[in-house]
Amino acid sequence: MARVSLRRITRKGRALYLAYDQGLEHGPESDFNERNADPRFIIEIARKGKFSGVVFQRGIAEKYFEELQKAKVPLILKLNGKTKLPKGEPISAQIADVGDAVRLRAAAVGFTIYIGSEHEAKMLEQFASIQREAHRRGLLVIAWIYPRGKGVKNDVSREMIAYAARVGLEAGADIVKLKYGGNEKDLAWAVRAAGKTKVVVAGGTKKDEKSFLKQVREIVDAGAIGLAVGRNVWQHERPLEIARKLREIIFGEK
């Protein structure tokens, strides 16, 4: 089987991705201000902050295609998403496909699976066909695997994060994105469960810088290859400064 090289979206085997799909997931009111509501601001952070990739939904990737090409930051095209408005069992709707990713010159596709949801089967099936086609067409695959829904009590327990990691491996993701519950040993177990699938961790809501950086050190010590972070960077007063600190920890940059 032809392998797609992880090197397109990693450096020294490590990764720092800038996630910006929160406009769809959470809405502008909860996450954005005058500055970070503009996708061009995000592209500039990704470029100057030397991120290994930026995560956009299709609409932003289309409308800001030229800016993104100029910036030369690898695109990770998110293929599904949902708003925060429905109250039922979570399902992330597929709203883009691998053809869109190829057309938009993405390096990778991203896809969310809520394991534990009543709709889990649909997301697993869609992921399977996306994974096959993406690999056939030379794209990497990142799975956001979030335990959620009626079947899940604690989404960041040792059991759940390792389960999410293992689903990433078994479903064929190149990289699995997990949430960190604050226990380094649990994350190390999840990294073990992910086998040859690499692990990156989400940033979560904005924290004070000191505790955020402490968390990032733990994540790297646990064996994750890095972060796919949004709010803790582009809600920061000085995004490039926090990006530099993240590079120091993740890539060992001086």
Q: Where along the sequence are the contacts to ligand FBP (CB under 6 A)?
A: 19, 21-22, 25-26, 55, 144, 202-204, 229-232
Half-sphere exposure of 248 (CA within 13 A, CB side): 9
Backbone angles phi, psi at 23, to 5 degrees: -60, -40
Instruction: Please give the structure tokens belonging to residue 152.
Output: 């899940």
Q: Look at residue 200 and give its three-state secondary structure.
A: strand
Is the Cβ of residue 17 or residue 251 nearer to ligand FBP in the bound state? 17
Q: How far is the CB of 203 from ligand FBP (least distance, A)?
A: 3
Catalytic residue among 177, 179, 180, 198: 177
Amino acid at site 184: E
Q: How far is the CB of 250 from ligand FBP (least distance, A)?
A: 14
CB of 1 to ligand FBP, least distance (A): 29
Closer of 26 and 245 to ligand FBP (Cβ): 26
Selected catalytic residue, list 146, 179, 180, 198 = 146
In angstroms, the CA 25 to CA 232 distance is 16
Nearer Cβ to ligand FBP, position 149 or 230? 230
Choose between 66 and 237: whose C-beta lies nearer to ligand FBP. Answer: 237
Burial class (CB in 10 A: 0-12, 13-18, 19+), 10: buried
For this structure, is 50 an active site residue? no
Answer whether 197's CB lies under 8 Å from 176's CB. yes
CA gap 169, 176 in Å, rounded = 8
Report in angstroms how near the CB of residue 134 gets to ligand FBP at its nearest.
18
177 is an active site residue? yes
Query: What is d(CA 25, CA 67) in angstroms, rounded to the nearest whole number?
Result: 23
Catalytic residues: 146, 177
